[in-house]
Amino acid sequence: MIDRQAWAEIDLSAIRKNVRNLVALAGNGAGICAVVKADGYGHGAGPVARACLDSGASSLAVALVDEGVALRRSGIVEPILVLGYTGEEGAGRAAAWGLSVVAVSEDNARYIASEAKLRGKPARIHLKIDTGMSRLGLSPEEAAAAAAEIYAMPGAILEGVCSHFADSDAADGAFATLQLSRFNEAVAAIERAGVRGFARHMANSAAFIHMPEARLDMARPGIAIYGLRASTQRACPFEPVPAMALKARVVQVRTVPAGETVGYGRTFRAARDSRIATLPLGYADGVSRALSNRGSVGFGSGRAPMVGTICMDQLMVDLTDLPEEGPGSVATIFGPGGPPVSELADLLGTIDYEVVCDVSGRIPRIYSDSRMEED
């Protein structure tokens, strides 16, 4: 057993199942570019990437050049697309490591191409069009001229033309439909300019699942891969399988007499003689302090409420109603065996993404894979 008494269990067979469901939904259409940025949404980019590629994804996406380089260093040879802004230094590294990059302007595309040329490598470019996210990219009206320029650049390959939805998770699909039509018009203009051979991609998980017309040549699902909610307003047509469970072992149980308080700021007062257990993880591990006196954790025999203010490295739960649990018992903070990620996200007023991305680097990730049994 590991020395650390708190850990995250990552079930790679869950990742595989989710990817297979996405691939089945795509039919013979869109390729799946699995989004593994932010260390695979906290799950560990390397193992997640391998599982996705083995289950039918054809490429990967990250946010940063360094994330792509780390995947290359781990032995991944499949296409990797850098979704975020790539500066000059990053462009050189991307070319050297055979990464594709998003260009957000003509200027950006020019130095991506020149940095690649300096290294004698092709510049693999995906031109980003801003169709309504107002974050990165050039306007639909500028797209044809920029695409034509990149297409004509020696050493540059216009691999893709892409955009990103602002609210494809919303129940009302009107804006997403408008964004898609802006994108399709820009693509038509690019084609009229004589540019060919690029992949069109725009869909994140929610668009991929709920807007078949947005799947185009390739889609970039992230959150659905991890078995979490792509939308809180629309039901997923398949059963997503959550891949991460955050767990910790009870390291001590103290009897706290009625009237005594627990933790910093004395925010919890025991109404009865209580068995208060300490779990060795806290907000520095990614358990939000905003869950203090609000969240609960799962044990084999039931739920135990979090009591007192969550500390940096520890948190306390009330085991009074769970007499079978004691030192050494395993608590599930979220994921299979405990509260679902969605419960924490809803309590915190955030999205599932943030809950898993917040699990810090000092929590060891332990991988399981029941692939042999499945295949």
What residue ranges bind ligand PLP (CB under 6 A)? 35, 83, 164, 204-205, 220-224, 230
Q: Are strands 252-256 and 274-279 parallel, antiparallel or unpaired?
A: antiparallel
Q: Which is nearer to ligand PLP, 35 or 279 (CB)?
A: 35
Q: Residue 166 CB, nearest distance to ligand PLP (Å)?
A: 11
Q: Residue 12 CB, nearest distance to ligand PLP (Å)?
A: 18
Core vs surface per residue 351-364: b (16+ CB within 10 A) or e: bbbbbbbbbeeebe
Catalytic-labelled residue, pool 128, 151, 264, 283: 264
12-26 vs 45-54: helix crossing angle, rounded to 10: 40
Closest-by-Cβ residue to ligand PLP is 222
3 state DSSP class of 291: helix
3 state DSSP class of 128: strand
Rounded Cα distance, 179 and 172, in Å: 13
Q: Residue 205 CB, nearest distance to ligand PLP (Å)?
A: 3
Q: Residue 176 CB, nearest distance to ligand PLP (Å)?
A: 12
Sign of CA dihedral 196, 197, 202, 203: positive
DSSP class of residue 220? Answer: -
Q: Residue 277: phi, psi to the nearest 5?
A: -105, 145
Would residue 264 show up in a list of annotated catalytic residues for this protein? yes
Using alpha carbons, select from 375, 370, 366, 283 the residue that is nearest to residue 1: 366
Catalytic-labelled residue, pool 37, 128, 151, 226: 37
In three-state form (DSSP H/G/I as H, E/B as E, the rest C), the secondary structure along 111-127 is HHHHHHHHCCCCEEEEE
Q: Which is nearer to ligand PLP, 62 or 153 (CB)?
A: 62
Q: Which is nearer to ligand PLP, 38 or 193 (CB)?
A: 38
Q: Residue 37 CB, nearest distance to ligand PLP (Å)?
A: 7
Using alpha carbons, select from 324, 340, 335 the residue that is nearest to residue 277: 324
Would residue 37 show up in a list of annotated catalytic residues for this protein? yes
Q: Residue 220 CB, nearest distance to ligand PLP (Å)?
A: 4
Q: Residue 57 CB, nearest distance to ligand PLP (Å)?
A: 13
The answer to whether 243 and 14 have CB atoms below 8 angstroms apart is yes
- 46 CB neighbour count, 10 Å cutoff: 17
Q: Which is nearer to ligand PLP, 240 or 298 (CB)?
A: 240
Q: Which is nearer to ligand PLP, 164 or 275 (CB)?
A: 164
Which neighbouring-strand residues pair with 219?
A: 32
298, two tokens: 């799962």
3 state DSSP class of 139: coil
Rounded Cα distance, 294 and 274, in Å: 17
Q: Which is nearer to ligand PLP, 43 or 164 (CB)?
A: 164
Rounded Cα distance, 21 and 19, in Å: 5
Q: Which is nearer to ligand PLP, 160 or 221 (CB)?
A: 221
The catalytic residue positions are: 37, 264
